[in-house]
Amino acid sequence: MTTSTADPMTTPAVASPGGLTHRQILTILVGLLMGMFLAALDQTIVATSIRTIADRLGGLDHQAWATTAYLITSTIVTPLYGKLGDIYGRKRLFLFAISIFIVGSAASSFAGSMMQLAVFRAVQGIGAGGLFALALAIIGDIVPPRERAKYQGYFLAVWGTSSVLGPVIGGFLAGQSSLLGITGWRWVFLVNVPIGIAAFAVVAKTLHLHHHRLDHRIDWLGAGLLAVSLVPLLLVAESGRDWGWGSATALACYATGVVFAILFLYQEWRMQEEAIFPLRMFRNKTVGVASVASVVIGVAMFGGLTSLPLYLQIVKGASPTKAGLLLLPLTLGIMAGSIVSGQVISRTGRYRAFPITGTFLLLAGLFAFHYVHYDTPLWQTMVVCVFFGVGLGFNFQPLTLAVQNAVPPQQIGVATSAATFTRQMGGTMGTAVFLSILFSTVTGRITSALAKIAPTADFQAALRDPANSKTVAMLKAFQSGGSSGGGSFLKDSSILNTMDPRLAKPFLVGFADSMDLVFLCGAAIMVIGCIVMLALPNNELRSQSAYAARGAEADAAAGAPAV
């Protein structure tokens, strides 16, 4: 038996039962954190600036496409990254994911419409799906479950830094008319290019792991069937309000999605252990419960995180930069929940209490957001953000940890991608459905608010002001059922910034009331999540990393003939 000496990370000490040293783990973490920082920063930058971008491209009511396209592709490719990583190793795939993300970011900066932006964001999503899934799988490889909390602080630093910097940078860039001769909002995507190149260089230099190749086939047919089943269902979730939920187009999407979902399940059953998602893995109670719960949590997480910036910017009139800063309590809540759960789990080896508590906090947070109205003081909203963030923090790491701990070392990649996939699937559905509810009800809510506010003395006085003649014409068109009223608002909400506050009030009240409905629907969904989470088992956490376990098995297999 020979051992390569070309790479210090593949020496016999690495593959020993003791696993990697602390210094070696930190060296690998540098590359992983750079990749995760790239994807995490992009999400927070875009979330804060999407309203400005949609206004500039004339399609606020189609902004869901830019978000949904990204989530669709990242969701579909996640299981592929997991399976390919188990077979071929994760480093090359991680570098590939970074490269695709850079290409998608550069292309997004040249978008001339919301539809073009959606296409380029879809390319970004192909890369992002690998950045998250592979980074989490590699951590599952090299760090034992009981010790993972020791390194959790590094990931928290990345998420915390991106959560703080992203909204501020996104708000600043979106607020610039031009920067170095390029329209300000385009830098929201262009800034990823130099960061991505730096991440590629760091990963290439630091991420060295000796991979024991697994001889498995790749279930390309299953991947295709999964894509064909998901896309129609997600499209109808986003566009159902325009097509009509019972229209022929919507019904065709339902039928296509269901038929191909059944074919996908049959293909996975037929492929058995070669499947992208081995169905036998979901018979494990921990994996099954965590997967269902992750879908529900994804709906709540992405639904809330997509809706809150819109509320702060449109209803409260916050600039993109200020809206980002106002989300700091949410970030602090996530970090606090993750730190507390990580430290307690590391010391006790028990994780079940945190996801259960977290789901109930998410339920309470969403229900409390339902009471956030047009004139609710900001400090009250911020308090709810803290508790909502703690709920997310109690679920992020513990659920992934539970799934990784419940499967054999050889399935770490598939299991991690399953946990990521289900959360992203929930996020994709949550974003599409919540924004569909928002924009399909906002016109009716504005009409109701206008009927209540129009008779007031302030509103009538504003109508008589000659300076408001254009706004008055828009209101008359809106009341008569024309599209120049509510339609203008949905295409470009920035018109509210120049409108007389007395006349803008019905629009702001109507939007806030639609947001209330969105959060109430989210709370109803979280009730299901709370019930499901109660069934989560509490298995004993392993004290050996998956990487060390696979190395020991390989050494034992290599030495077997000599015994």
Q: Which pLDDT tens digit goes with each residue over 177-217?
A: 777 777 777 888 888 888 888 888 888 887 776 655 555 66
Buried b vs exposed e over 182-191: b needs ≥16 C-beta within 10 Å?
Answer: eebbbbbbbb
Contact 306, 435 (CB under 8 A): yes
Cβ(284)–Cβ(535) below 8 Å? no
Q: What angle do CA 36, 42, 43 make, to 5 degrees?
A: 95
Among 157-166, 450-459, 463-472, 530-539, the range scoring the smallest mean pLDDT is 157-166
SS3 track for 189-209: HHCHHHHHHHHHHHHHHHCCC
Neighbours of 140 (CB within 10 A): 26
Residue 214 sits at φ, ψ, to 5 deg, of -100, 130
What pLDDT does 60 receive?
61
Average pLDDT of every residue of the chain? 77
Mean pLDDT value of segment 23-39: 79
Tell me the per-residue pLDDT of 490-513, one tens digit each, with 9 for 90 and over. 555 667 777 778 888 888 888 888
For residues 292 and 532, the answer to whether their CB atoms sit within 8 Å is: yes
What is the number of other CB atoms lying within 10 angstroms of the CB of residue 44?
Answer: 25
Compute the C-alpha angle 120/122/126, nearest 5°: 120
Local confidence band at 102 (pLDDT 50, 70, 90 cut-offs): very high
Which among 188, 201, 178 has a CA at the least distance from the CA of 99? Answer: 201
Taking residues 31-60, report their average pLDDT: 75
Distance CA 534, CA 336 (A): 23
Phi and psi at 179, nearest 5°, equal -145, 115
- pLDDT attached to residue 101: 92
The fraction of the chain above a pLDDT of 90, given in percent, is 6
pLDDT score at 4 = 37
Nearest to 389 by CA among 324, 333, 340: 333
How far apart are alpha carbons 467 and 317 in whole angstroms?
21
Strand partners, 364: none
Tell me what pLDDT residue 492 has.
58
Which letter does DSSP use for residue 182 in this model?
Answer: B
Highest mean pLDDT among 85-89, 247-251, 264-268, 359-363: 359-363
Confidence check: pLDDT of 224 > 70: yes
* pLDDT tens profile 282-313: 888 888 888 888 888 888 777 666 778 778 88
Q: Give CA 140 to chain center in angstroms.
A: 20
| Residue 488: per-residue pLDDT | 53
Average pLDDT for residues 11-32, to the nearest whole number? 60
Looking at per-residue pLDDT, the higher value among 550 and 34 belongs to 34
pLDDT single digits (tens) 141-168: 777 776 766 666 567 667 667 766 777 7
Q: How many CB atoms lie within 10 A of CB 556?
A: 10
At 372-394, the pLDDT tens digits run 888 888 889 899 989 988 888 88
Name the β-bridge partners of 182. 179
Residue 544 has pLDDT above 80, yes or no: no
Q: What was the pLDDT predicted at 100?
A: 94
Q: Does position 74 have pLDDT exceeding 70, yes or no? A: yes
Q: 103 pLDDT exceeds 90?
A: yes
Interval 348-376: pLDDT, tens = 778 888 999 999 999 999 899 888 888 88
Which ranges constitute the DSSP H helices of 109-219? Answer: 114-142, 148-175, 187-190, 192-206
pLDDT reading at 409 higher than 90: no
The answer to which of 27-31, 244-248, 548-552 has the lowest mean pLDDT is 548-552
pLDDT confidence tier of residue 247, bands split at 50, 70 and 90: confident
- What single-letter amino acid sits at 289? V
Q: Could you tell me the two tokens for 77? A: 């490719």
* Structural domains for the chain: 17-219+276-443+515-548 (1.20.1250.20), 444-514 (no CATH)
pLDDT at position 451, please? 84
Reduced to 3 states, what is the DSSP secondary structure of residue 485?
coil
Q: Of 222-231, 244-253, 450-459, 536-545, where does mean pLDDT reach its minimum?
A: 536-545
pLDDT at 471 over 80: no
- Which pLDDT does position 2 carry in this prediction? 38
Quick check: 487 pLDDT over 60? no
Q: Is the pLDDT of residue 551 over 50?
A: yes
Residues linked to residue 179 through DSSP beta bridges, in sequence order = 182
Region 430-447: what's the mean pLDDT? 79
Q: pLDDT value at position 484? A: 43
Please state, as a whole number, how many other Cβ atoms lie within 10 Å of the Cβ of residue 12.
10
Q: How far apart are CA 75 and CA 295, in angstroms?
A: 12
